[in-house]
């Protein structure tokens, strides 16, 4: 099963995108768990995670979070700004699956 974490400053702005990604996963019959967390919570949620995606508004945190993810061999990248702004759950889900190791 894929376990995807979306990360923003407080874990709030990504919650709507999580809902849309979960809907896209159900429609595509993809088994995954998707959660939104704050940047400060990422480290405690990495166990079993297959991908971490950061909201564009915290791109400055990418080096710090990528280092944490690299220590656990978890792929980490930024969500495309256009897909984030459009709340395109399918595209963001596809991106998370593409960078994950599963």
% pLDDT > 70, the chain: 96
Q: How confident is the model at residue 13 (pLDDT cuts 50, 70, 90)?
A: confident
CA–CA gap between residue 26 and residue 93 (Å, rounded): 11
Average of per-residue pLDDT values in the chain: 94
pLDDT at 102: 56
Is 69 an annotated catalytic residue?
A: no
Residues forming beta bridges with residue 54, ordered by sequence position: 7, 78
Q: Dmax of the chain from CA atoms?
A: 34
Mean pLDDT of 5-30: 91
**Residues of the domain holding 91:** 2-99
Catalytic residue (one of 8, 32, 69, 76): 8
* Digit-coded pLDDT (tens) for 27-37: 999 999 999 99
Report the predicted TM-score, pTM, of the whole model to 2 decimal places.
0.94
CA–CA gap between residue 28 and residue 14 (Å, rounded): 21
C-alpha dihedral (15, 16, 22, 28), degrees to nearest 10: -150
Q: How confident is the model at residue 82 (pLDDT cuts 50, 70, 90)?
A: very high
How many domains is the chain built from? 1
Q: What is the CATH number of the domain that holds 34?
A: 3.40.50.2300
Q: Is 55 exposed, middle or buried (0-12, 13-18, 19+ CB in 10 A)?
A: buried
pLDDT at 51: 98
């Amino acid at each position: 099963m894929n376990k995807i974490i979306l990360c923003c400053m407080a874990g709030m702005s990504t919650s709507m995108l999580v809902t849309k990604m979960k809907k896209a996963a159900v429609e595509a019959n993809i088994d995954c768990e998707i959660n939104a967390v704050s940047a400060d919570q990422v480290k405690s949620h990495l166990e079993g995670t297959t991908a971490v995606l950061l909201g564009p508004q915290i791109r400055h945190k990418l080096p710090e979070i990528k280092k944490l993810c690299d220590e656990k061999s978890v792929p980490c990248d930024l969500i495309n700004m256009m897909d984030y702004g459009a709340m395109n759950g399918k595209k963001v889900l596809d991106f998370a699956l593409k960078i994950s190791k599963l």
